[in-house]
Amino acid sequence: MRTAIRFVLLFFSITMLYAQTQVQQPRFALEISEDGYPPHFVIVPERQQGGGIDSMFFGPSLHPLPGHDAGNSEKTQPSAVKLVCKVDGDAVAITAIAVFGPFDKTNTSLSLQGHAQQKIGTYSPHLNESIVLREMEQFGLQPWTIKIVNAQLPTPVSLATLNEVPSIQPEILGKDREQDGTS
């Protein structure tokens, strides 16, 4: 009887620990694109219980508008565009901010203190909806189109595979857009 009670208590303890440590899969990704350049994908992590910080991303390279001479611009061009994102129900709240001044983009502990910033806009698109950051044109930059897409890649309908070795069983595991290598 004691062994059975211990087993049940152990089972419930393990089940509770597993439920508390389970990580929620991301639902959304940003597909950032601009004319003439391949899209860039960024996963928007789900907010952790008990608070947590919003995700901050620096978008892909900034490209000048065709025919725009940066040297003659009255406004200083930003050195980066910061996207502060958070999942808000079935939408993604995005705040786009232009960041000015030189900094090391490879520094992962990037601090923006002392850098001038200007809010570009705040948006709240849903899955498969797109927004265009037209406000980037005021800085002489090509505007980004940001589309909210599913973070998980769609499963292929069929996979043409010929396997004549029975000990090898190919399988496709779930991949998200960052793991795909298209970013």
Provide the residue-wise pLDDT of the chain in tens; the chain has 183 residues: 666 566 556 666 666 655 555 557 888 999 999 888 888 888 888 865 444 445 666 666 788 888 766 555 556 788 888 888 889 889 999 999 888 887 665 664 556 667 888 999 999 999 999 999 999 999 888 999 999 999 887 665 555 667 777 777 767 666 666 555 544
DSSP assignment of 88-119 equals ETTEEEEEEEEE-S---TT-TT---TT--EEE
For residue 166, tell me if it sits in a domain.
no
For residue 86, tell me if it sits in a domain.
yes
Structural domain count, the chain = 1
Q: What's the pTM?
A: 0.66
**Would you call 82 exposed, middle or buried from its count of C-beta atoms within 10 A (0-12, 13-18, 19+)?**
buried
The CA-CA-CA angle for residues 74, 79, 83, to 5°, reads 115
Measuring CA to CA, which residue among 99, 90, 71 is closest to residue 129?
90
For residue 20, tell me if it sits in a domain.
no
d(CA 60, CA 57): 9
For residue 146, tell me if it sits in a domain.
yes
Domain that includes residue 136, residue range: 25-150
For residue 156, tell me if it sits in a domain.
no
For residue 175, tell me if it sits in a domain.
no
* Cβ neighbour number for residue 88 with a 10 Å cutoff: 12
For residue 18, tell me if it sits in a domain.
no
For residue 78, tell me if it sits in a domain.
yes
Measuring CA to CA, which residue among 178, 152, 173 is closest to residue 25?
152
d(CA 84, CA 75): 24
